[in-house]
């Protein structure tokens, strides 16, 4: 192949752009002494004719060459090495035309035209080459992006077509068919763009196929699919997680199989352990989750039935608190079970009635012991459980009445002097009447009532009091009245404290305080004013 760089011309010669040597005409010496006008005219005529022929041939050949190149781009190597027939003929004519006579040289008019056509072809060729190189760069960038995602594994026919077009472009580029190479590279780049644009769809399809493989228990296919999907989208968390699931799938399947074997032989604890371990390895495994839920339900069913049986047994044995505790534990397994809720209602009612009966017995014992405070507490506790229980309502009223009478009775027994007052004596008498109406009077209350009766009787029984004076002193007794002057006066006074006052004109008054004690037979008192003022 000729070099793109022109060679240095040899002496007397000049190299053309097409590698054809052009003979440089030598200078013809002028023969001033032998000029011939006819010869000169002939040479001039022949030269004009030849120039016209050459120009016509050049125009015709140029038009034919341009039309041919537009349909068949020229390969520089071949076209330059082997000139086309039309060009060869032109060159031969040029050589013939350029060699004229010994007398002189007439330059050919075709040489500048050929050089101009060659310049146009070279510029076009360079433009086509630059275009092909740009398309190749674009293709390589796209192809690298695809190859980084292992597109050869998921690209399918589009990747094969892109590769074939790329290889065809490389061949055309080597043959210097730049326009055709650029076209192939463009087509290959279009395929590459389609692959990149379709990568999302391919990713989705790969993940779906991987998911299906996971569901079918095929760990190999699942790993392949998710690995390829991650080549397309390396940061996708779902695909990464599913790849990890695929890597543990065989162990998960083994554990599930082992768990089912334990389950069939009613070894639910072992089955539960296997299913739970499988779910720990793959928290998204529906098989592991369903198996674990199933064996849990069986365990719950067994435990529930046992607790129900134990609870009802305790209930029938009168162990109500134990029965309630056991049934509540059973309810924790099945909160909405009608069976356990009904049993709990029965137990709660039994506990309620048992507690009421216990309180009733306690109240009755307190009444017998005349511990009315304790009896009242028991009745109030019963009414807190059920405010409509009649025995508790009546017991509460009875206890309150006993407590009131007992307290009032204690007051008079501890302070009998208060009965010296007529109102308090009346209160004491009324209290005795109320106490005697009580239905349940224990020994203690009866004794205190008798004691109060005695005190009241004493408080009501008058004592004979004899007042003596000098018949000159005016006598008055508080709470009794003015008695006047006398030497002796007998009064009947109830037990109590009395004040006797004596007064006389010209004498100092005398004031005496006398106490009439219950049960006294008589009392003698002398009061005389004998100190002069």
pLDDT digits (tens, 9 = 90+) for 391-447: 999 999 999 999 999 999 999 889 888 887 788 888 988 988 888 888 778 888 889
CB 328 within 8 A of CB 307: no
Residues 232/206, Cβ–Cβ less than 8 Å: yes
Of 159 and 277, which is predicted with more confidence? 277
Q: What pLDDT, on a 0 to 100 scale, did the predictor assign at position 441?
A: 82
Which pLDDT score, from 0 to 100, does residue 94 have?
37
- 201-305 CATH fold: 1.25.40
pLDDT of amino acid 200: 76
User: Do 250 and 281 contact (CB within 8 A), yes or no?
Assistant: no
Tell me the pLDDT tens digit for each residue of 262-292: 888 888 889 989 989 998 888 888 888 999 9
pTM to 2 decimal places: 0.44
Sheet containing 510-516: order of strands: 481-484, 474-477, 496-503, 510-516
Average pLDDT over residues 11-26: 34
Lowest model confidence (mean pLDDT) among 99-113, 162-176, 270-284, 431-445? 99-113
Contacts of 121 (CB under 8 A, 6+ apart): 69, 74
Q: Please, what is the average pLDDT of the chain?
A: 77
pLDDT digits (tens, 9 = 90+) for 19-50: 333 333 333 333 334 344 444 444 544 555 55
Are 96 and 40 contacting, i.e. CB atoms less than 8 angstroms apart? no
Contact yes or no for 225/210 (Cβ under 8 A) = yes
Burial (Cβ within 10 Å: 0-12, 13-18, ≥19) of residue 69: middle
Per-residue model confidence (pLDDT) at position 503: 93
Task: Give the bridge partners for 474, in sequence order.
Answer: 503
C-alpha separations of 230 from 153, 330, 359, 507 in Å = 12, 50, 77, 137
Helix (H, G, I), strand (E, B), or coil: what is residue 514?
strand
Would you place residue 58 in the very low, low, confident or very high pLDDT band (cuts 50, 70, 90)?
A: low
Q: In what order do the strands lie in the sheet with 463-468?
A: 488-493, 463-468, 522-526
Q: Assess whether pLDDT exceeds 80 at residue 146.
A: no
d(CA 165, CA 72): 20
The share of the chain scoring above pLDDT 70, in percent, equals: 77
| Cα–Cα dist 259/289, whole Å | 12
Is 51 a residue whose pLDDT tops 80? no
Rounded to an integer, the average pLDDT of 85-90 is 33
Q: Per DSSP, what are the bridge partners of residue 56?
A: none
Model confidence band, residue 102 (pLDDT cutoffs 50, 70, 90): very low
Lowest average pLDDT, out of 224-238, 420-434, 496-510, goes to 224-238
**Which segments of the chain belong to CATH 2.60.40.1120?**
462-533
Q: What are residue 74's phi and psi, to 5 degrees?
A: -80, 135
**All CATH 1.25.40 domain ranges in the chain, comma separated:** 201-305
Q: In this structure, what token pair is assigned to residue 59? A: 């125009």
Looking up tokens 């005697």 gives 436
Q: Give me the numbers of helices (H) and strands (E) for the chain, helices first please.
A: 18, 9
pLDDT at residue 56 in the model: 52
Rg (CA), the chain: 71
- Beta carbons of 91 and 12 less than 8 angstroms apart: no
Looking at the chain, how many residues does it have?
533
Question: Given the DSSP bridges, would you call strands 13-15 and 21-23 parallel, antiparallel or unpaired?
Answer: antiparallel
Count other Cβ atoms within 10 Å, centred on residue 4.
9
CA distances from 211 to 158, 214, 272, 286 (A): 25, 5, 26, 12
Q: Give the CATH fold of the 462-533 domain.
A: Immunoglobulin-like (2.60.40)
Contact (CB, 8 A) for 512 and 524:
no
- What average pLDDT does range 290-317 have in this prediction? 89
Stronger pLDDT, 171 or 113, i.e. the higher one: 171
What's residue 396's pLDDT? 92
Predicted confidence at residue 97, as pLDDT, reads 37
Report the C-alpha gap between 307 and 313 in whole angstroms: 10
- The separation between CA 296 and the C-alpha centre of its own chain, rounded to angstroms, equals 25
Query: What residues contact residue 41 under an 8 Å CB cut-off, 6+ apart?
Result: none
Which pLDDT value is given to residue 384? 92
């Amino acid at each position: 192949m000729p070099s793109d760089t022109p060679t240095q011309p040899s002496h007397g010669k000049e190299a053309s752009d097409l590698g054809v040597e052009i003979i440089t005409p030598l200078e013809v010496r002028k023969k001033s002494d032998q000029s011939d006008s006819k010869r000169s005219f002939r040479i001039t005529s022949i030269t004009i004719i030849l120039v016209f022929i050459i120009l016509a041939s050049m125009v015709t050949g140029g038009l034919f060459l341009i039309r041919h190149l537009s349909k068949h781009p020229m390969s520089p190597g071949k076209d330059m090495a082997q000139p086309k027939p039309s060009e060869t003929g032109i060159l031969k004519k040029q050589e013939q035309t350029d060699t004229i006579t010994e007398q002189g040289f007439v330059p050919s008019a075709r040489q500048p035209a050929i050089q101009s056509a060659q310049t146009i072809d070279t510029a076009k060729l360079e433009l086509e080459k630059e275009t092909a190189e740009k398309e190749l760069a674009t293709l390589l960038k796209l192809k690298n992006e695809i190859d980084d995602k292992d597109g050869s594994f998921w690209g399918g026919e589009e990747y094969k077509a892109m590769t074939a077009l790329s290889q065809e472009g490389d061949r055309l580029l080597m043959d210097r068919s730049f326009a055709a190479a650029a076209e192939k590279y463009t087509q290959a780049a279009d395929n590459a763009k389609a692959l990149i644009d379709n990568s999302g769809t391919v990713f989705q399809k790969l993940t779906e196929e991987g998911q299906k493989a996971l569901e079918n228990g095929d760990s190999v296919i699942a790993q392949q699919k998710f690995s390829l999907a991650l080549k397309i989208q390396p940061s996708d968390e779902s695909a990464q997680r599913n790849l990890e699931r695929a890597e543990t799938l065989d162990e998960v399947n083994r554990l599930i199989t082992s768990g089912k074997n334990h389950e069939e032989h009613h070894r639910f604890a072992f089955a539960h352990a296997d299913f739970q371990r499988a779910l720990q390895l793959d928290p998204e495994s529906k098989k592991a989750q369903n198996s674990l839920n199933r064996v849990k339900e069986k365990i719950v069913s067994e435990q529930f039935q046992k607790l129900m049986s134990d609870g009802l047994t305790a209930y029938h044995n009168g162990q109500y608190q134990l029965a309630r505790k056991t049934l509540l534990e059973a309810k924790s397994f099945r909160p909405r079970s009608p069976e356990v809720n009904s049993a709990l209602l029965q137990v709660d009612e039994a506990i309620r009635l048992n507690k009421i009966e216990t309180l009733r017995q306690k109240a009755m014992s307190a009444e017998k012991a005349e511990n009315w405070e304790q009896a009242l507490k028991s009745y109030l506790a019963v009414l807190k459980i059920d405010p409509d229980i009649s025995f508790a309502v009546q017991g509460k009223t009875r206890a309150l009445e006993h407590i009131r009478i007992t307290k009032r009775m204690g007051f008079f027994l501890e302070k009998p002097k208060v009965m010296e007052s007529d109102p308090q004596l009346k209160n004491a008498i009324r209290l005795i009447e109320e106490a005697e109406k009580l239905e349940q009077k224990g020994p203690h209350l009866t004794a205190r009532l008798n004691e109060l009766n005695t005190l009241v009787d004493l408080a009501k029984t008058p004592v004979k009091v004899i007042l003596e004076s000098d018949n000159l002193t005016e006598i008055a007794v508080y709470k009794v009245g003015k008695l006047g002057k006398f030497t002796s006066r007998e009064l009947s006074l109830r037990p109590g404290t009395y004040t006797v006052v004596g007064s006389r004109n010209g004498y100092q008054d005398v004031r005496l305080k006398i106490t009439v004690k219950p049960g006294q037979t008589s009392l003698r008192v002398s009061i005389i004013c004998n100190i002069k003022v």
